[in-house]
Structure 1
Amino acid sequence: MFRVYHPIFSIGLVQRTMAELVPTKIRRYYVSIRRLHGSNIPDIPRNDLELSTMSGFLDSVRCGDCECNVDWGERRNTMASIAAGVLFFTGWWIIIDAAVKYPDEAVFHHAYHTCGVIATVAFLMINAVSNGQVRGDSYSEGCIGQTGARVWLFIGFMLAFGSLIASMWILFGGFVVPKKAVVYPGIAVFFQNAFIFFGGLVFKFGRTEDLWQ
């Protein structure tokens, strides 16, 4: 890089100015400088001009100056609860849609609803005990104590994983492998349990107990 110093202007000053102006304005500004102070300031190639402008065009972008910023730290519990509720609702909505569309038991056996019921029970069991009670950090041990809370949580997760695995077995063992003409009920059972499972995880670990105080 060359650098020619002038009593008033310098190439460094012009280059710093280039990053803040539109390319056409930069060219006009630079030409006016050369007319005032002679040809001691060499011209800048157009490629260098465009490259230096593109390399810093995001410097003036400010993401935090918007007045509509939301403090996600204080709204974490709210957003996690909404997301978990949407997942839980979507899971049951899918299975209800499949049950209404295929009411014949030969196509969609009614026993397949057991997985969704067990997943719902597991959802309630997982979120019935707090993380502080499981760790032993809560103010009171409750009626089952720390050991009982851990056993309760373990049983809840076991039921949740069991229902999800059973829904996969229903999808592949009851619809895909036999090559049935209608596969949507099996897909609905799987997605119902998957949405309920992930909804329970979001509601359990997506919230923070520090905001409960």
Structure 2
Amino acid sequence: MVPHHPPPSSPQPTSSSTPLLPSMSLPRSNYDPRRVCLNPFPDISLGKHRRTVGVYLAGALFALANWTFLDAAVLSAHARSPWGQPDTPPPVHVTFVDWIPGICSLLGYLVINLIDKDRVRGEEGFGDSRAVWRARLILFIGFALMAGGLAGSVTVLILKYVLNGYPEQFTYYGYANVSQSVALMLSAIVLWIAQSGSNEYEYNLTL
């Protein structure tokens, strides 16, 4: 006769057993609990050249912003009558209203970059205790000026150029105004980030 063996009993869970981990869509080696997106953004590190690249990029954006609007102003000053209509003047010109958004953005740009970054972060422990909130208030005023300049340029573009149905030759004046405000804001952000990082001399000292 074949000996009868009892069926193996299933193991009972004990208090020392390890709890099951929840299923993850990423391998454990690539899992980071701080990650928000499934595919993270590429990590671009410029090292000791971060400050230099940021300053040059901010300067290029600043020059591009003012060159674009000055180009529109020069084109407006030398605009001629339509072909075959010598007695018909150009329908629109760049006036002082077009300059106001750029002036506001430029003032905000100067205010933002004249602020001591350590005061805004509150890292300075000496001096007036109210210097931190004053620096942050001035920073807010600078960004408010830049935001007002951008909003004003969009308003001038819509009310003065788009709604009146001018040809593309003349609506370029309004688009150049908006481009100036956007480029100045990007330049201020890039310069702020570049100045917040350590320069090449400080980088060599840390090594």
TM-score norm. by structure 1 comes to 0.61
Q: Secondary structure at the residue paired with 1:138?
A: coil
Asked if the contact 1:81–1:203 (Cα under 8 Å) also holds between the matched residues in 2, the reply is yes
CA distance in 1 between counterparts of 2:127 and 2:54 reads 26
Asked if the contact 1:123–1:197 (Cα under 8 Å) also holds between the matched residues in 2, the reply is yes
1:183 to 171, 194, 198: 171
Q: Which residue of 1 aligns with 2:147?
A: 161
AA paired with 1:119? Answer: S
1:89 to 51, 63, 69: 63
Asked if the contact 2:105–2:145 (Cα under 8 Å) also holds between the matched residues in 1, the reply is yes
Q: Which residue of 2 aligns with 1:203?
A: 191
Residue 99 (structure 2) pairs with residue 132 (structure 1)? no
Asked if the contact 2:50–2:197 (Cα under 8 Å) also holds between the matched residues in 1, the reply is no
CA distance in 2 between counterparts of 1:113 and 1:142 reads 38
TM-score norm. by structure 2 comes to 0.63
Change (3 A) 1:144 1:85: farther
> Could you list the per-position Cα deviations for residues 100-134 of structure 1 after superposition, in whole angstroms to 9, with x for gaps in the alignment?
11116942223211111111110111111133211
Change (3 A) 1:102 1:132: same
AA paired with 2:51? Answer: N
> Which protein has the larger Cα radius of gyration, Structure 1 or Structure 2?
1
Change (3 A) 1:188 1:171: same
Deviation, structure 1 residue 92: 0.4
Deviation, structure 1 residue 141: 4.6
CA distance in 1 between counterparts of 2:191 and 2:70 reads 23
Deviation, structure 1 residue 135: 1.8
AA paired with 2:173? Answer: P
Unaligned 5+ runs, structure 1: 1-70
CA distance in 2 between counterparts of 1:144 and 1:98 reads 44
Q: Which residue of 2 aligns with 1:101?
A: 75
Asked if the contact 2:51–2:198 (Cα under 8 Å) also holds between the matched residues in 1, the reply is no
Deviation, structure 1 residue 139: 5.8
- Which one scores higher on RCO, CA 8 angstroms, separation ≥ 6? 2
AA paired with 1:129? Answer: I
Q: Which residue of 1 aligns with 2:85?
A: none
Deviation, structure 1 residue 180: 1.4
Q: Secondary structure at the residue paired with 1:125?
A: helix
State percent identity of aligned pairs. 26
CA distance in 2 between counterparts of 1:198 and 1:148 reads 24
Q: Secondary structure at the residue paired with 2:47?
A: coil
Q: Which residue of 2 aligns with 1:64?
A: none
Change (3 A) 1:200 1:183: same
> Could you list the per-position Cα deviations for residues 45-89 of structure 1 after superposition, in whole angstroms to 9, with x for gaps in the alignment?
xxxxxxxxxxxxxxxxxxxxxxxxxx8211111111111100010
CA distance in 2 between counterparts of 1:208 and 1:150 reads 15
CA distance in 1 between counterparts of 2:98 and 2:129 reads 35
CA distance in 1 between counterparts of 2:129 and 2:99 reads 32
